[in-house]
Amino acid sequence: MIHYLVGNLGHISVIVAFVASLVATYGYFKSVYADETAKHDWLKFARTAFYVHGVAVIGIVVCLFFIINKHFFEYHYAWSYSSATLPLHYQISTFWNGQEGSFLLWIFWHVVLGSVIINTNKFWEGPVMTIFALVQAFLVSMILGVVPGIELGEFAFSSDIRIGSSPFILLRESLDAPIFKTNPDFIPEDGTGLNPLLQNYWMVIHPPTLFLGFATTIIPFAYCLAGLWIGKYKEWVRPALPWALFSAMILGVGILMGAYWAYETLNFGGYWNWDPVENAVYVPWLVLIAAIHTMISFKKSETALKSSIILVIATFVMILYSTFLTRSGILGDSSVHSFTDLGLSGQLLIYLLAFLFLSAFLAIRVWKKLPSTDEEVSAYSREFWIFIGATTLSLMAFQIIIPTSIPVWNAIVELFGGISNIAPPIDQVEFYSKWQLWFAIILALLSGTGQFFWWKKIDRTKLKDAMMTPVILTLLIAGLVILISNWAQTGYFKAVGELLLLTAGLYSLVANATIFKSVIKTSPKLSGGAVAHIGIALMLLGILFSSGYSKIISLNRTGLVWSNEFPEEVNRDNLLIFQHEPRQMEEYELLYLGKRREVHGFPGFMNESDLRILPDPQFAVARKDIFYKEQLFFQEGDTVKLDGFENTYFEVKYTSNDDEFTLFPRIQMNESMGSVMSPDIDRRLTKDLYTHVRTFPDPEADIEWSPMDSVELRLGDTLYINDFVAVFEDVIRISELDGAPLDPTDVAVKAQINIQGSLDQQYLAEPIYLIRNQLVGRIPSEVDDVAAKITLLNIYPEQGTFEFGIETTQMNWIILEAVEKPLINVLWLGTFLVVVGFLIAINRRYTEFVKMRDKGVEAD
Amino acid sequence: MKKSYILGIVVIAVAITVIISTAGDASSYVNFEEAKALAASGNDNKIHVVGALKKDDDGSVVGIETGADKQSFSFLMVDQNDKEQKVVFLNTMPQDFLRSEQVVVVGAYHNDAFLADKILMKCPSKYQEQTIEASAGS
């Protein structure tokens, strides 16, 4: 039965949310021009409308989640992104897997932020919330899913234009499947499932963080436009600044979470790939950081107002532009991410252009009236250096957005009838890195030196004094690092750029640490800048080492070619490891121990060969008693539930002279979406060891067995199976087979052969011998871990012996790649410090804002 | 205003360099014929080719061959001039590959085969998505 109610409720909520946001826009707009008494009424009216909008948005969220959670696969959204077996936390990821859901997340955050603004800032409420509510109307229109049309009796006319894409669309409305013609009430039993790449805990928390970052950029933008609109050209900066800092912090954390997810889950071996999708969020963040710097500089001296206005507007416009880039499908030819084109490109473009023109109009209208000084800025002033810094950040953003926009340039040329066939650079990483490296060097130098100007008026001699110690210290440390790395023959710092980045990064670190030391004593509340800059310096150094000097250590030094069919680099950079056969890799001895699964309620991993997977792949039966640290967890024959039944792990043990650890790189096999290999990482203080499996034997391929050897054994005899010692331990009469009871007339026994694997691992072979209707049936036992198949051929009761047939095949193997990432923790530590720095700065700026607000300074 | 002029000139210079470098390092979209001509003339720059997977009359993809090692596969691709070409990809099949309505291969000719370094796909918009199996349920 199709559940219409929840979809209809959701759809009505979307319409209510849309209308209410328009009403709120109108109400807030009116309040700006109304006199004192009418203003109060308009505000009250608009506020109510905004709250109605908020409640409706929460209604949409609840309805959509209900559909996913209850597995209503008659709805397209649940069918496309979920499946009946998906656990609750991934149902949450499903919620924002589709474009509609992620728009909804964004809308939801705006509701939360709008409510905060309403309740913290009465003076700015009218104009700021006008912008807010208008943006909401645009965003909600993206999930409206309305086809404007007219119905006149029998004649129905519907245009081709569709406004938005509703998440509440039924499967039969979206798919033209023949089944719906014969049976419109058909409901698929299961959905297509969540992309295995997204079945990761980061995908539960990364999108909400990133979208909170996206959502918060509207606040400085709204304050800025409101200021330009109502003539408070300077006053908007104070309330906007703490929010701009908050936004930069959240957006930055969101970006880093995405990078970390890529590092942990994808197998390209890094955390940043300069893919257009990554660039599209990095660019607005850079511009926002530039804006924060000019805003702070303006608060001190009023010269940077115009650049603050431009940069704050640019940040929001870049957010809209990146939304356009990633969601319109225009990047389809240039990004490895596959986009689903919802046909919203026109709507997204209108959204982008509307706010671009609105802000340009408001800014140009009053541009002449904006205060500025014609005085030449001194090269010894902080304003000058901050301006240089902001310019560098903007150029950095420019350098990224130009190549990322190549598909847009093509589209524009084609719009005017031309032909353009430019494609993005082939090696994106190399292309962007060679530019961004130099920008990073300049930034590191500026962020070190700029801090000296920050704290006091300074002239040439004073500057020299202040900089002397940090510079000398930097050169000493840099020299030492280079010496040590030469001595250790690391091969680092061969290129000039890398050498300079090392020195500049260290300089920024030392200089900011010096500043921090003096500030923390006198006024710890003001130390945010120094802490954040220390963090940035550490991040730059961490990136230099972990990306610049990441090293493949799984080089093939055996002289063997794994396969002629492999490309050269696979043969060169990867190791083939047979199960039980140790292989040397640098200082480690690697031992592949077999496939592992995760079982619900079992700590650690379970050997796949101890389980018999049932036709429903979520469940398996234990083939023997299963212990963990001598505690019995499951008994033979117990049915167990597999956690993440699509996941198989490869246990690889690393042993060196002074060290021992085990890694579990993973493969996720999803029928409808293909397999995904994910790495496992051994995290050390100074380096990460990153291992992922490149390939392994196809589990569905037919196995080629050797000719059968037969042996005659008595109970307790020892034999060799594929070079492993095995003991024929017992023969047991059985009364059921694969869980089904046997006929009373059947006679069946199973032999138990215990095979001793490497590292004390025991494998059990249990071939079965069955007599039914005087016919003999033999069910061989395959032991994957020792690549053997054992059959109980005959039983000779008179001699007391049993004849076994033994067949063997090639031992299991994996081909793996291992990469060392030095000092990657410095990057994460830097990220952490940047966040701390932001928190200190937000606290300071927000306190300032509250103090001034309570004095009533805002409202005069 | 001397300093601001200098700064302005520097900014413009950097911006122009960025644009020139983008143009210089950019690859290009070509068809298989042009790609082959490029390779024949000794130009081994990698390029982008846009096309679609070869399909039979029923719309199912044909010509996929998996390498014996499961590590590579090849497929038949038809470019925008309807030229058919075997493309070898030295990696496992990307997710959703068979569902793609358009593929872009990045790579170059090696003798007669096109060797792809990277495959980009455009998946069908959700309203033309693959149909569901009628046997999937009641």
**DSSP letters of A329-389?**
SGGGGT-SSPPP--S-HHHHHHHHHHHHHHHHHHHHHHGGGS----SPPPTTSHHHHHHHH
Q: What is the pLDDT of residue A581?
A: 86
Specify which residues B76 forms β-bridges with. Answer: B86
Nearest CB to A402 within list B2, B22, B94 = B22
Cα distance from B14 to chain A (closest Cα, Å)? Answer: 8
Alpha-carbon gap, residue B38 to B42, rounded angstroms: 7
Substitution target in B22, B29, B61 with the highest count of A β-carbons within 10 Å is B22
Q: State pLDDT tens for residues A64-73.
A: 999 999 999 9
Mean pLDDT value across chain A: 87
Inter-chain residue contact A188 with B97, CB threshold 8 Å? no
Asked if A338's CB is within 8 angstroms of B123's CB, the reply is: yes
Whether residues A342 and B102 touch (CB distance < 8 A) is answered with no
Are residues B1 and A333, on separate chains, in Cβ contact within 8 Å?
Answer: no
Mean pLDDT of A385-393: 92
The pLDDT value given to residue A455 = 56
Mean pLDDT of chain B, nearest integer: 76
Least confident of A35-44, A605-614, A625-634, B102-111: B102-111
For residue A472, what pLDDT is reported?
Answer: 92
Q: What is the pLDDT of residue B69?
A: 59
Instruction: Quote the percentage of chain A above a pLDDT of 90.
Output: 42
Does B29 contact A at CB distance below 8 Å? yes
**Average pLDDT value for residue range A7-28:** 95
Q: What is the predicted pLDDT for the residue at A340?
A: 58
Q: Which of A281-290, A770-779, A847-856 has the highest mean pLDDT?
A: A281-290
Of A329, A391, A423, the CB nearest to B48: A423
Cα(A517)–Cα(A524) distance, rounded to whole angstroms?
A: 10
Min Cα–Cα distance to chain B from A92, Å: 21
Residue A566 pLDDT grade (very low, low, confident, very high; cuts 50, 70, 90): low
pLDDT tens-digit map of A252-294: 999 999 999 889 888 777 888 888 888 999 999 999 999 999 9
Number of DSSP helices (H) and strands (E) in chain B, helices first: 2, 7
Identify the residue among B132, B133, B135 best suited for mutation to test binding to A, counting A beta carbons within 10 A and taking the highest. B132
Which residue of A2, A338, A816 to mutate against B (max B Cβ within 10 Å)?
Answer: A338
CB-CB: which of A403, A565, A815 is closest to B67? A565
Q: Nearest CA to CA, how far is A342 from chain B (Å)?
A: 6
| Smallest Cα distance from B31 to chain A, Å | 10
Chain A positions in Cβ-Cβ contact with residue B118 (cut-off 8 Å): 336
Hey, are the CB atoms on A175 and B132 less than 8 Å from each other? yes
- The shortest C-alpha distance from A674 to chain B (Å) reads 5
pLDDT at position B125: 45
The percent of residues in chain B predicted with pLDDT above 70, rounded, is 82
Tokens of A370: 């904006």
**pLDDT for B127 beyond 60:** no
Give the chain A residue nearest B31 (alpha carbons): A421
Q: What is the largest CA-CA distance in chain B?
A: 79
Residue-wise burial string across A555-564, b where 16 or more C-beta atoms lie within 10 A, e elsewhere: ebeeeeebbe
Query: What is the largest distance, in Å, between two alpha-carbon atoms of chain A?
Result: 113
Task: Select from A421, A433, A678, A696 the residue whose CB has the most chain B CBs within 10 Å, as the one to mutate to test that interface.
Answer: A421
Task: Mark residue A645 as left, alpha or beta (left: phi above 0; alpha: psi -120 to 50; beta: remaining).
Answer: alpha
Helix (H/G/I), strand (E/B), else coil: A554: coil
Contact across the interface for A187 and B106, Cβ inside 8 Å:
no
pLDDT at B128: 37
Residues of chain A with C-beta less than 8 angstroms from the C-beta of B97: 674
Amino acid at A567: P
Cβ within 8 Å, pair B131-A178: yes
The answer to whether A251 touches A281, Cβ cutoff 8 Å, is: yes
Q: Which chain B residues contact residue A813 at CB under 8 A?
A: none
Decide if A267 contacts A314 (C-beta within 8 A): no
Lowest mean pLDDT among A152-161, A351-360, A843-852: A152-161
Distance CA A373, CA A152 (A): 64
Window from A183-192, A633-642, B38-47 with minimum mean pLDDT: B38-47
Percent with pLDDT over 70 in chain A: 94
pLDDT in tens, A581-629: 888 888 899 999 999 999 988 988 998 888 888 888 888 988 888 888 8
CB contact under 8 A, A406 and B26: yes
Residues of A in contact with B68 (CB under 8 A): 563, 565
DSSP calls for A804-832? EEEEE-PPPEEEEEEEEEETHHHHHHHHH
CB interface of B with A, residues 105-124, below 8 Å: 106, 117-118, 120-123
CB-closest option in A174, A335, A563 to B69: A563
Indicate the pTM of the whole model.
0.89
Report whether B136 contacts B74 (CB < 8 A).
no
Distance of CA A245 to the CA centre of its chain: 22
Closest CA–CA distance from residue A522 to any residue of chain B (Å): 35
| A845 or A459, greater pLDDT | A845
Closest residue in B to A398 (Cα–Cα): B15
- How far B71 CA lies from chain A's nearest CA (Å)? 6
SS3 letters across A220-250: HHHHHHHHHHHCCCCCCHHHHHHHHHHHHHH
Using a CB-CB cut-off of 8 Å, the residues of chain A touching B65 are none
Contact residues for B133 (Cβ-Cβ < 8 A; gap 6+)? none
Test A391 with B131 for CB contact under 8 angstroms.
no
Distance CA A574, CA A814 (A): 10
Does pLDDT of B138 surpass 60? no
pLDDT at res. A857: 60
Decide if A425 and B27 are in contact by the 8 Å CB cutoff: yes
List b or e across B67-85, with b for residues whose CB sees 16 or more CB atoms inside 10 angstroms.
bebbbbbbbbbbbeeeeeb
Q: A585 - beta bridge partners?
A: A588
DSSP letter at B99 equals G
Q: What is the mean pLDDT of residues A428-432?
A: 89
CA–CA distance, A192 with A671 (Å, rounded to integer): 9
Would the CB atoms of B23 and A422 count as touching at under 8 Å? yes
Contacts of A188 in chain B (CB under 8 A): 132, 136-137
Residue A54 has pLDDT above 90, yes or no: yes
Task: State how far residue B4 is from chain A, nearest Cα, in angstroms.
Answer: 8
Q: Are A550 and A270 in contact (CB under 8 A)?
A: yes
What is the reported pLDDT for B1? 56
Nearest by CB to residue A342, choosing from B25, B93, B126, is B126
Cross-chain residue pair B67–A403, CB shorter than 8 Å: no
For residue A237 the two structure tokens come to: 């900066």
Residue ranges of the alpha helices (H) in A266-302?
276-301
The pLDDT assigned to A374 comes to 65
Contact yes or no for A244/A252 (Cβ under 8 A): no
Helix, strand or coil, per DSSP, at residue A192: coil
Residue A377 has pLDDT above 50, yes or no: yes
Beta strand A674-678 with A666-670: parallel, antiparallel or unpaired?
antiparallel
CA distance linking residue A741 with residue A745, whole number of Å: 11
- pLDDT at res. B129: 41
The chain A residue lying nearest B15, using CA atoms, is: A395
Better-predicted residue by pLDDT, A354 or A858: A354
Contacts of A399 in chain B (CB under 8 A): 18
Mean pLDDT of A823-833: 94
User: Which of A561, A565, A589, A597 has the alpha carbon at shortest distance from A784?
Assistant: A597
Task: Quote the CA–CA distance of A342 and A77 in Å, as a whole number.
Answer: 13
The beta-carbon neighbor of B126 closest among A174, A189, A384 is A174
- For every residue of A754-784, DSSP letters joined together read EEE-GGG-EEEE--EEEEETTEEEEE-EEEG
Please report residues of B whose CB lies closer than 8 A to that of A676. Answer: 95
Shortest distance between the Cα of A327 and any Cα of chain B, in A, equals 12
Q: How far off is chain B from A212, nearest CA to CA, in Å? A: 27
Select from A329, A336, A566 the Cβ nearest to the Cβ of B69.
Answer: A566
Closest residue in chain B to residue A373, using alpha carbons only:
B1
A467 CA: distance to closest CA in chain B (Å): 23
* Token pair of A508 as six digits: 């920024």
Which residues on chain B are in Cβ contact (under 8 Å) with A422? 23, 26-29
Lookup: tokens for A675: 């397999």
Q: Which residue of A has its CA nearest to B71?
A: A695
Higher per-residue confidence, A27 vs B39: A27
Q: Find residues 33-52 of chain B whose CB sits inside 8 Å of chain A.
A: 45-48, 50
Q: Which positions ≥6 away from A286 have C-beta within 8 Å?
A: A393, A394, A396, A397, A400
In A, which residues are within 8 Å of B70 by CB distance? Answer: 695, 698
